[in-house]
């Protein structure tokens, strides 16, 4: 779109004056964004970094090998099919005039047997953040009707885009160039050069327009900062903020925000004093949480069969009305299957099996979440909470509220199938 306002003209002018990204910056990003790979074919290992190949008849089941030619430690991959291409992002954080600027660069690596890899990089977005935390951005065009949010038209130029939210603005890079330039107000608000795994554009905006995020960062409550930013805002008039002030006063760091918030709900259920450090700052959070959760589960299980039946039947109607368009969704890969929980009774069974609070804290009533069950070889392994606002996995927990050994595989399968959930929402 053509710039119209004074601000838009200033953004376009500043964009034209930004220095070109150097070859040195690209090369550093290539080394940080991509892992070194090899592929095994008929007892021959092909190094996809230097093109060397060698026979290995006695190879053990070790996913890593060392290339005898280039001495690189290589990760064996089974994703090779006539070539392998990986795509990633890195960012440059800088300033110009009164703008905090985040430049997003898309990088790709193409690998083939008996060849050295080829690399390609192109700048796809420039995000301009104002001192009040608002953002405007310029980007390349994307292919229309694509199922991917970032299928860039490489030949297009960076152009100013309308001022509306898009998932592209929440892309998280794998690497941020180490030489950062930030506005003085951002440093004043607690930024010390670390992004803590949060997309830079999101963290910088939050620090400028949200004093709750500023407080959490300054007090080193990083896990609560994640929780706050990921569409679970902590309100200053809510119980979480009140309990948080007690934690700050007692130098108590919350290391598992979701578990701690669930624990606060249990404390509130039992009319415990949320202004007491004795309760809100437990020495062993998991033990304190599990103790109250177990107590609540026993109370629920002690209810008569008819009462349970009435409770489940009543809630089932509401749950069916809210989530039935997701019923039947199943994602399967190898021995792992992930399916939507379709009844309140299944919530009870899931909670009892894993000994967590998916039923006791009434997750079936959460309008903006979808709860799924992951099974390995048909055995319940983890319960997944997916946000229906930004389509991020908020938590994936197994027995005792802990991640199972299959957690990474489960999250990977979820990520690859999020478009199916989005399609069900559009069709509803």
pLDDT digits (tens, 9 = 90+) for 359-403: 888 899 998 999 999 999 999 999 999 999 888 999 999 988 888
- pLDDT attached to residue 60: 62
Contact between 231 and 390 under an 8 Å Cβ cutoff? The reply is yes
| Token reading at 336 | 């792992």
Dump the DSSP string for 82-132: S-EEEEEEEEEEEEETTEEEEEEEEEEEEE-TTS--EEEEEEEEEEEE-TT
Instruction: Verify that 140 and 216 share a domain, yes or no.
Output: no
**Beta strands 118-129 and 159-160: pairing type?**
unpaired
Q: What is the rounded average pLDDT of the residues 145-158?
A: 89
Q: Helix, strand, or coil here: 146?
A: coil
| Token reading at 186 | 């951002």
- pLDDT attached to residue 357: 86
| Token reading at 19 | 């220095």
**Beta strands 84-96 and 175-176: pairing type?**
parallel
Domain that holds residue 360: 308-427
Instruction: Verify that 155 and 247 share a domain, yes or no.
Output: no
Nearest of 72, 21, 65 to residue 50 by alpha carbon = 72
Q: Determine, yes or no, domain membership for 357.
A: yes
Residue finishing a domain among 176, 199, 222: 176
Residue 81 pLDDT exceeds 60: yes
Instruction: Verify that 150 and 277 share a domain, yes or no.
Output: no
Nearest of 425, 330, 419 to residue 148 by alpha carbon = 419
Average model confidence (pLDDT) across the chain: 91
pLDDT in tens, 234-276: 988 888 999 999 999 999 999 999 999 999 999 999 999 999 9
pLDDT in tens, 128-142: 999 999 999 999 999
Produce one character per residue of 151-170: b if its CB has 16 or more CB atoms within 10 Å, e if not. Answer: ebeeeeebebbeeeeeebbe
Q: Determine, yes or no, domain membership for 189.
A: no
Residue 157's pLDDT band (boundaries 50, 70, 90)? very high
Residue finishing a domain among 151, 176, 201: 176
- pLDDT attached to residue 59: 66
**Beta strands 64-66 and 369-376: pairing type?**
unpaired
- pLDDT attached to residue 230: 84
Instruction: Verify that 116 and 226 share a domain, yes or no.
Output: no
**14-23, 31-40, 110-119, 313-322: which range is least confident on average?**
313-322
**To which residue do tokens 């047997």 refer?**
113
- pLDDT attached to residue 180: 96
Interaxial angle between packed helices 222-229 and 257-269, expressed in degrees from 0 to 180 and rounded to the nearest 10: 80
**15-24, 55-64, 415-424: which range is least confident on average?**
55-64
Sequence length of the chain is 428
- pLDDT attached to residue 308: 65
Q: Determine, yes or no, domain membership for 201.
A: no
Q: Determine, yes or no, domain membership for 181.
A: no
- pLDDT attached to residue 237: 83
**1-5, 44-48, 157-161, 324-328: which range is least confident on average?**
1-5
**34-48, 272-286, 290-304, 354-368: which range is least confident on average?**
290-304
Instruction: Verify that 352 and 234 share a domain, yes or no.
Output: no
Question: How far, in Å, CA of 121 to CA of 28, rounded?
Answer: 12
Contact between 406 and 381 under an 8 Å Cβ cutoff? The reply is yes
Q: Helix, strand, or coil here: 404?
A: coil
Instruction: Verify that 169 and 220 share a domain, yes or no.
Output: no
Residue 426 pLDDT exceeds 80: yes
pLDDT in tens, 313-339: 788 888 999 999 999 999 999 899 999
Instruction: Verify that 110 and 165 share a domain, yes or no.
Output: yes
Burial of 84 (0-12, 13-18, 19+ CB in 10 A): middle
Instruction: Verify that 170 and 94 share a domain, yes or no.
Output: yes
Say how many Å lie between the first and final Cα of the chain, rounded: 32
- pLDDT attached to residue 300: 78
Residue 278's pLDDT band (boundaries 50, 70, 90)? very high
Residue 305 pLDDT exceeds 60: no
- pLDDT attached to residue 315: 86
- pLDDT attached to residue 141: 94
pTM above 0.85, yes or no: no
∠ CA 404-37-415, rounded to 5°: 40
Instruction: Verify that 50 and 98 share a domain, yes or no.
Output: yes
- pLDDT attached to residue 352: 83
Instruction: Verify that 342 and 228 share a domain, yes or no.
Output: no
Q: Determine, yes or no, domain membership for 205.
A: no
Higher pLDDT, 313 or 23: 23
Residue 310 pLDDT exceeds 90: no
Q: What is the rounded average pLDDT of the residues 41-47?
A: 88
For the domain that residue 409 is a member of, what is the CATH number? Answer: 3.40.630
- pLDDT attached to residue 277: 95
Produce one character per residue of 45-79: b if its CB has 16 or more CB atoms within 10 Å, e if not. Answer: bbbbbbbbbeeeeeeeeeeebebeeeebebebbee
Q: What is the rounded average pLDDT of the residues 309-313?
A: 73
Q: Determine, yes or no, domain membership for 199.
A: no
Q: What is the SS3 assignment for 248-259?
A: HHCCCCCCCHHH
Contact between 221 and 252 under an 8 Å Cβ cutoff? The reply is no
Q: What is the rounded average pLDDT of the residues 177-205?
A: 95
Total domains, the chain? 3
| Token reading at 55 | 């026979």
Residue 306's pLDDT band (boundaries 50, 70, 90)? low
Instruction: Verify that 100 and 239 share a domain, yes or no.
Output: no
Q: Determine, yes or no, domain membership for 401.
A: yes
Contact between 326 and 369 under an 8 Å Cβ cutoff? The reply is no
Residue 165's pLDDT band (boundaries 50, 70, 90)? confident
Residue 196 pLDDT exceeds 90: yes
Residue 304's pLDDT band (boundaries 50, 70, 90)? low
Contact between 208 and 214 under an 8 Å Cβ cutoff? The reply is no
Instruction: Verify that 253 and 315 share a domain, yes or no.
Output: no
Backbone angles phi, psi at 285, to 5 degrees: -60, -45
Contact between 272 and 279 under an 8 Å Cβ cutoff? The reply is yes
Burial of 127 (0-12, 13-18, 19+ CB in 10 A): buried
Q: Determine, yes or no, domain membership for 54.
A: yes
Helix (H) / strand (E) element for 216: namely helix 211-218
């Amino acid at each position: 779109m053509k710039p119209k306002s004074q601000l838009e003209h200033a953004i376009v002018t500043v964009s034209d004056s930004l220095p070109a990204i150097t070859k040195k910056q690209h090369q550093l990003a290539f080394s940080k964004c991509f892992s070194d790979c090899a592929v095994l074919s008929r007892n021959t290992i092909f190094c996809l970094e230097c093109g060397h190949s060698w026979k290995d008849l006695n190879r053990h089941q070790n996913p890593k090998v060392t290339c005898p030619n280039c001495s690189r430690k290589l990760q064996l991959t089974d994703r090779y099919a006539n070539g392998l291409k990986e795509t990633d992002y890195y960012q440059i954080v800088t300033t110009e005039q009164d703008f905090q600027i985040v430049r997003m660069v898309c990088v790709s690596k193409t690998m083939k047997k008996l060849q050295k890899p080829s690399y390609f990089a192109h700048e796809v977005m420039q995000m301009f953040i104002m001192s009040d935390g608002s953002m405007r951005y310029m980007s390349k065009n994307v292919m229309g009707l694509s199922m991917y949010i970032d299928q860039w038209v490489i030949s297009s130029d960076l152009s100013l885009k309308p001022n509306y939210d898009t998932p592209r603005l929440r892309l998280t890079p794998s690497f941020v160039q180490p030489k950062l330039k930030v506005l003085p107000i951002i440093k004043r608000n607690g930024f010390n050069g670390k992004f803590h795994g949060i997309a830079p554009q999101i963290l910088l905006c939050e620090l400028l327009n949200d004093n709750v995020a500023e407080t959490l960062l300054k007090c080193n409550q990083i896990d609560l900062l994640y929780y706050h930013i990921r569409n679970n805002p902590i309100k200053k008039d809510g119980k979480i903020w009140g309990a948080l002030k007690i934690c700050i006063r007692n130098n108590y760091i919350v290391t598992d925000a979701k578990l701690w918030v669930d624990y606060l709900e249990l404390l509130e259920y039992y009319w415990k004093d949320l202004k007491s450090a004795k309760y809100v700052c437990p020495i062993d959070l998991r033990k304190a949480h599990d103790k109250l959760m177990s107590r609540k589960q026993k109370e629920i299980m002690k209810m008569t069969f008819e009462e349970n039946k009435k409770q489940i039947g009543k809630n089932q109607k509401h749950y069916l009305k809210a989530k039935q368009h997701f019923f039947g969704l199943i994602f399967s890969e190898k021995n792992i299957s992930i399916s939507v929980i379709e009844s309140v009774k299944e919530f009870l069974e899931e909670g009892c099996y894993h000994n967590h609070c998916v039923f006791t804290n009434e997750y079936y009533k959460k309008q903006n979440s979808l709860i799924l069950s992951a099974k390995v070889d048909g055995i319940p392994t983890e319960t997944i909470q997916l946000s229906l606002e930004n389509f991020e996995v908020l938590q994936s927990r197994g027995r005792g509220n802990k991640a199972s050994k299959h957690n990474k595989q489960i999250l990977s399968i979820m990520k690859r199938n999020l478009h199916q959930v989005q399609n069900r929402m559009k069709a509803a």
